Amino acid sequence: MRIENPYDKRGTWLRGSFHNHTNNSDGWFPLETVYRMYADYDFLAISDHDKITDLDGERSIPTVFEAIEVSSREPHMLLVAPPRSILEGYSSEFSIVNYQRLADVTLDNGGICVLVHPNRYFSNYWNLEDMLQMERVTGIEVYNGDGNIEYDIAFDKWDAMLSAGRRVWGFGNDDSHVYGQEKQAWNVVLAEENSQQSILSAIRSGSFYVSTGFGFESIQTDDRQISIRLKSNKLLDRMYKYVTLFGKDGRVLHEETGRITEVTYSCMGDEGYVRVSAYIEGGYAAFSQPLFINQR
Ligand SMILES: [Zn+2]
Ligand SMILES: [Zn+2]
């Protein structure tokens, strides 16, 4: 058995959101205000609808990314670090061919492609069949902070794609448009350094997790065992945690609750993948990427 562990590397944990709007599209605030909303983040992408917003102006955020939210009347797709040439002959019309072409141009440029808010059923959602037809994407947005929580969570579609054999990472983003939507969900990335290249490279290899307020210290593996160390300090250690490990088809593999700081799980070999969700009293959570389990 071999466990593919995307967290088995050195680095520092960096916090950021890849999906945020300004008044260059339908956000309420100019770029400078959005920078201030996220002043303590390590990185931030600005992803206006069908536009690449110029990232000028003063900011305390060390790393910022140009991005674009491809916004058809049907599904939306987030491209981070697309080449500027993507705007030549640009169309946001939804077809798998057009969306995959835009994704490919971005991926070939070293950027990333995320299928966003797949379950926002009142508008711009993804059908699972269309998601599966997108052959090359970095991941899907499993947690979107824009308002109505029930529409913005997509763990079901993530498990469906993973169970179909697709290697897609889960993202958490605010999709912020107004005050009050900032810092609902973010990505915590294990990067070698705080630079565009290190962050994108860590993302491509799945070395990050999604947080809404809780976290992991580390996730370690040996031949068959996964050891998850939960975010720990004197205060957190006194609080109740609810940890669930999911495998193929969303099957619950293991659950532990209590004032725990660590969970270990011995793999059987038939899990397909193992992903971890950890909640702390109050509802804050951390969601790991899948660790793929190879039977031989
Ligand atoms: Zn959108
Ligand atoms: Zn958006």
CB-based contacts of 294: which residues, under 8 Å, 6+ apart? 1, 2, 3, 4
pLDDT of residue 180: 87
Distance 291 CA to ligand 1 centre (A): 28
Give the burial class of 110: count Cβ atoms within 10 A of its Cβ; 0-12 exposed, 13-18 middle, 19 or more buried.
middle
Predicted confidence (pLDDT) per residue in 57-96, tens digit: 999 999 999 999 999 999 999 999 999 999 999 999 999 9
Share of the chain above pLDDT 90, in %: 94
Residue 80 · residue 65 · CB < 8 Å: yes
Inform me whether the pLDDT recorded for 147 exceeds 80.
no
Residue 279 · residue 241 · CB < 8 Å: yes
Sheet holding 216-221, edge to edge: 216-221, 225-230, 262-266
Distance 106 CA to ligand 2 centre (A): 18
Distance 18 CA to ligand 2 centre (A): 10
Query: Coil, strand, or helix at residue 276?
Result: strand
Distance 140 CA to ligand 2 centre (A): 13
Distance 193 CA to ligand 2 centre (A): 27
Q: How far is CA 264 from CA 5, 54, 195, 224, 247, in A?
A: 14, 46, 33, 10, 15
Nearest ligand to the C-alpha of residue 120?
Answer: 1
Distance 70 CA to ligand 1 centre (A): 8
Query: What is the architecture, at CATH level 2, of domain 216-294?
Result: Sandwich (2.60)
CATH fold for domain 2-210: TIM Barrel (3.20.20)
Predicted confidence (pLDDT) per residue in 263-292, tens digit: 999 999 999 999 999 999 999 999 999 999
Predicted confidence (pLDDT) per residue in 105-137, tens digit: 999 999 999 999 999 988 899 999 999 999 999
CA distance 265 to 142: 24
Nearest ligand to the C-alpha of residue 122?
Answer: 1
Domain definitions of the chain by residue range: 2-210, 216-294
Nearest ligand to the C-alpha of residue 71?
Answer: 1
Nearest ligand to the C-alpha of residue 124?
Answer: 1
